[in-house]
Amino acid sequence: MASKSDARATGARLLDAFRAEGAVEVDPDILQPAEALLDLYGEDIRARAYVTADPLRGEMMLRPDFTVPVVQAHMANGAEPARYCYLGEVFRKQDHRGPARTAEYFQAGYEVFDRAAPEQADAEVFALFARLLAPLNLRATIGDIGLLTAAVAGLDTLSTRKAALMRHIWRPQRFHKLMERYAGLTPVPATRAALLAGQAERDAPWIGLRSAQELQARLDRLREDAAARPIATQDVARLDALFALRCPADQAVEALRALDIPALTPAIARLQARLSALAARGIDLGAVGFDASHGRTTMEYYDGFVFTFSAAAPDLPPVASGGRYDALTRVLGQGKSIPAVGGVIRPGLVADLGGLDA
Amino acid sequence: MTLKLGVPSKGRLMEQCFDWFAARGVRLRRTGSDREYAGAVDGAPGVELVLLSAGEIPRELAAGRIHLGVTGSDLVRDKLADWQAQVADLAPMGFGHADLIIAVPACWADVDTLEDLDAVAHAFRRAHGHRLRIATKYHRLVREFLTREGVADYQLVDSQGATEGTVKNLTAEAIADITSSGETLRANHLKILSDGLIHQSQATLFAARAADWSGDGQAILRAFCDRLGLGAPEL
């Protein structure tokens, strides 16, 4: 494995390349307030990030990634449009031993905040990474979470169901269980049937912070849900087909159209614009993989374009990954938002695989 | 060399453990006064008894300071990351049964499944401005379970004892704890989620992968396992 100084030297060259594109270097603190990260990622982040205590600032985390502090800094005082780059270590707890399962490693990153032409910005980041990583012969895969959210938004069903599905796009197992529930494909649990029939036992004393009004509000929602038509099984099948779609990127538009999901039309047009922008920057789309579920389990704040560059060895983590995170800027922007896309390269892995061109 | 066998140092767990070994021809006993934590092994040459708190046995196994140890399967899974890489599971022992479960207030008539819990957690966060709190001391097991099941908008709060009281005391909305009869849960107006069984625990004999098995260590282990009627593990 590459030494720390090799990784840092490779990272410095990546940083130079990012600066040459006009990016301004930023250098966020290693200690980040835990609260913002916990709010964003939920309890899972505790399993992955090192938590420590500061006597004045409370719970802190050793930065598990740069995206959140970079977005926070931009939303607080950034000018538009903006390009940022950074190089530094991130810290991730590893629960399993294995190759490249290091708990601290370098990331070199490049982030673009630009309202003008999102698909052009997507292509800019991807093509820059593809050019820098070209000597390593990596396999590139792209996806688009925006296709999945568009398909869910287009379902002919209650808005509460769509919101529940949307919330679990990044948790496939729960998503599919909910889908089956809403489509009437799984039996209603006996306890829920009894509850809806007014036969549930209600004699327990009330304890806890949740109020009886909150229970009543949920009962109303459950009744509304029980009275609504199930989602059509053909719509479920179409969504399943979308989630399972994998093909070379130059065939993705045709394959998506063939799914016959009308709600996808605007998202497909955006994908097409992005693919054209990539081709215009010299990317061979036949050699790039398209995977509609890409980023669904590992990259929870991405909500549009997603990409990874991976080496052939199956147990190595991706050498580079990134995507679009417009919604994250809204969450962290206290009322403001801006379209944003970016990615990181792991210079330690780049050095392991033979390094950048001389 | 001698192999160190760690067993719980007191109470019913120690007695049942002694009985389990005795039924297989190995007599464990305490020596010295009632208060002295010293012990001896008859019928298993090369094996030495170490009396420890059950809660510390996973850590001692992981460090390889004892070769063999008896403790709850829940404690090993919760305290040791990648537990199978650190210890080998030699035998479930058929006592010390307890279920790690998720329980919510019995008055939550609308909650019986993890699907309900997840939906309520989402609404609760919106209404109260913080994630739904689940009190537990089994952080790893509970978090891995809820991640696998796709439950979101919760947070774990640490509770090392009297966990069933946290809901009434408004320091948590739900709990994840071990129960054998469910008696304490009912007394505290809690009910178990129908699909909220996280782990069925029982006392288990483990072998430490990090312990020193050199010299005649492996041979002593094989003889010991033979005596107990167990297959010797790959270490």
CA nearest to A323, candidates A155, A146, A202, A198: A146
Query: What is the chain A residue with the closest CA to B112?
Result: A191
Q: Does B128 lie in the same domain as B167?
A: yes
Q: Is the CB of residue A189 less than 8 Å away from at least one CB of chain B? A: yes
The answer as to whether B149 is a domain residue is: yes
Q: Does B88 lie in the same domain as B38?
A: yes
For A61-74, what is each residue's pLDDT tens digit? 999 999 999 999 99
CATH number at residue B63: 3.40.190.10
Interchain CB distance below 8 Å, A207 and B127: no
Using pLDDT thresholds of 50, 70 and 90, give the confidence band for residue A76.
confident
The answer as to whether A127 is a domain residue is: yes
Q: Residue A32 above 90 pLDDT?
A: yes
Q: Does B209 lie in the same domain as B140?
A: no
- Residue B15 Cα, gap to closest chain A Cα (Å): 35
| Distance separating alpha carbons of residues A344 and A30, to the nearest angstrom | 17
On chain B, the residues whose CB falls within 8 A of the CB of A215 are 107-110
Q: Does B76 lie in the same domain as B35?
A: yes
Q: Is the CB of residue A240 less than 8 Å away from at least one CB of chain B? A: no
Angle of CA points B109, B110, B115, to nearest 5°:
140
pTM: 0.91
Q: Is the CB of residue A198 less than 8 Å away from at least one CB of chain B? A: no
| Distance separating alpha carbons of residues B74 and B199, to the nearest angstrom | 7
The answer as to whether A219 is a domain residue is: no
Q: Choose between B20 and B54: higher pLDDT.
A: B20
| Distance separating alpha carbons of residues A191 and B195, to the nearest angstrom | 12
Q: Does B178 lie in the same domain as B109?
A: yes
The answer as to whether A20 is a domain residue is: yes
The answer as to whether B233 is a domain residue is: no
On chain B, the residues whose CB falls within 8 A of the CB of A43 are 131, 143, 146, 154-156
Q: Does B183 lie in the same domain as B107?
A: yes
| Distance separating alpha carbons of residues A60 and A69, to the nearest angstrom | 13
- DSSP string across A117-142: -HHHHHHHHHHHHHHHHGGG-PEEEE
Q: Does B136 lie in the same domain as B64?
A: no
CATH number at residue A38: 3.30.930.10
Q: Choose between A51 and A1: higher pLDDT.
A: A51
Cα torsion B79, B84, B85, B86 to 10°: value is: 50
How many domains is chain B built from?
A: 2
The answer as to whether B186 is a domain residue is: yes
Residue A21's pLDDT is what? Answer: 97
The answer as to whether A290 is a domain residue is: no
For A279-326, what is each residue's pLDDT tens digit? 999 999 999 999 999 988 765 689 999 999 999 988 888 999 999 999
Give how far Cα B136 sits from Cα of A146, A352, B98, Å: 37, 42, 15
Q: Does B157 lie in the same domain as B135?
A: yes
The answer as to whether B80 is a domain residue is: yes
Q: Does B53 lie in the same domain as B103?
A: no
Q: Does B30 lie in the same domain as B20?
A: yes
For A331-349, what is each residue's pLDDT tens digit? 888 888 999 999 999 999 9
| Distance separating alpha carbons of residues B173 and B167, to the nearest angstrom | 5
Which range of residues forms the domain containing residue B219? 3-97+202-228
User: What is the ipTM for the molecules in this complex?
Assistant: 0.90
Interface of A with B in 131-160 (CB under 8 A): none
A·B CB contacts under 8 A: 112
DSSP designation for B107: T
Which range of residues forms the domain containing residue A94? 1-134+354-358
Q: Does B89 lie in the same domain as B60?
A: yes
How many domains is chain A built from?
A: 1
Q: Does B206 lie in the same domain as B163?
A: no
